[in-house]
Amino acid sequence: ILFGPPGTAKSTVCEALAERMGWDFVVIDTASFLADGLTNVASRIRYIFARLQALNDCVILFDEIEEFCLDRETPSLGMESRMLTTAMLTAINDLRRSKKSIFFLATNRLRAFDSAIIRPGRFDLQLFVGTPNLDARVVQLRSQLASVPV
């Protein structure tokens, strides 16, 4: 799990890892689950995860999907949201057991997630990704400009 403020390159880290490993890179975001409409999110979860389990040697990024993994202990949370969280728990477990790919969860709101989603064992690590300091920004800029013709 990569968490931290917006714009700190959480997605870029995952993409760079995939490139370094020579693996495909797939991003699953909120829109992926909403493609068939709000009433069909549960079926989209099953569809998406079935396709993900068929992949080999792939880095998968779940980007800002907390709306489908909300804390089920939140009093104002409706039954549908609780059921989506439960569906996501099962789907993530199944994907983890397949051991064919590496997957990450990137979020700006770690505390919004149900504790069962972010517990040790479901994801191997929680890593805070903060805003880079000036030296790190200079290194990033030089790296990005290295391929630009002068």
Into which CATH architecture does domain 2-145 fall?
3-Layer(aba) Sandwich (3.40)
Which pLDDT band, with edges at 50, 70 and 90, does 72 fall under?
A: confident
Task: State residue 25's pLDDT score.
Answer: 97
**Least confident span in 1-5, 62-66, 131-135:** 131-135
- Write out pLDDT tens, residues 77-104: 888 888 888 898 889 989 898 888 999 9
**Position 7: which residue type?**
G
Residues near 89 by beta carbon (within 8 Å), at least 6 away in sequence: 69, 114, 116, 117, 122
Higher-confidence position of 20 and 135: 20
Task: State residue 46's pLDDT score.
Answer: 92
Task: State residue 106's pLDDT score.
Answer: 95
Residues near 116 by beta carbon (within 8 Å), at least 6 away in sequence: 72, 85, 89, 122
Task: State residue 134's pLDDT score.
Answer: 85
Which pLDDT band, with edges at 50, 70 and 90, does 13 fall under?
A: very high
Question: How crowded is residue 87: how many other Cβ atoms within 10 Å of its Cβ?
Answer: 18
| Residue carrying structure tokens 């995939």 | 18
- Write out pLDDT tens, residues 119-146: 888 888 999 999 888 887 788 788 878 8
